[in-house]
């Protein structure tokens, strides 16, 4: 298992299906500005719902700094679609079923019930990581700290 990616690291491009089944590449997502890639353990679980809804609720603030939140987990496209629809999330939810991307970012967990650690990576347009947030229990920390980092980088 690789070490987790950190601030200053460059992220390799990748492509995964979103909740509609459309293939989305990191390069395409970054074309409109920074991406806040938030990894979560399981769609529809209480903690992940709270975290994803906080990102949704801060949509205007993310838009104001030109950034886009993007969720990612090991859930299937169908489960991501249900998660997005049930909570009107309005952000792309990527399906990393085989775990390739969570492994690349170093957020793979050893046990299979929740194979993905909760972690958020703020990625600049040049694919450089600007901020990393890792908190398993404080759901709102992810969006709040990502926004704070984006505001600093815009100055």
Does the annotation mark 53 as catalytic? no
> Token pair of 18, please?
């979103």
- C-alpha closest to that of 124 among 2, 3, 5, 7: 7
Residue 10 phi/psi, 5° resolution? -95, 140
Please tell me what DSSP assigns to residue 63: H
The Cα 77–Cα 94 span in angstroms is 8
Annotated catalytic residue: which of 26, 48, 91, 149?
48
Residue 38 phi/psi, 5° resolution? -105, 120
The Cα 126–Cα 117 span in angstroms is 25
Catalytic (active-site) positions: 48
């Amino acid at each position: 298992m690789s070490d987790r990616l950190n601030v200053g690291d460059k992220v390799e491009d990748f492509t995964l299906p979103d909740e509609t089944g459309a293939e989305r590449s990191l390069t395409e997502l970054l074309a409109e500005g920074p991406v806040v890639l938030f990894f979560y353990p399981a769609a529809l679980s209480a903690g992940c719902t709270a975290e994803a809804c906080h990102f949704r609720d801060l949509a205007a603030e993310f838009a104001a700094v030109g950034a886009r939140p993007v969720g990612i987990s090991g859930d299937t496209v169908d489960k991501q679609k249900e998660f997005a629809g049930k909570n009107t999330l309005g952000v792309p939810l990527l399906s990393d079923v085989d775990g390739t991307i969570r492994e690349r970012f170093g957020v793979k967990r050893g046990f299979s019930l929740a194979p993905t650690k909760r972690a958020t990576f703020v990625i600049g347009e040049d694919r450089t990581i600007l901020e990393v947030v890792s908190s398993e229990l404080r759901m709102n920390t992810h969006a709040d700290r990502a926004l704070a980092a984006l505001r600093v980088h815009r100055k």
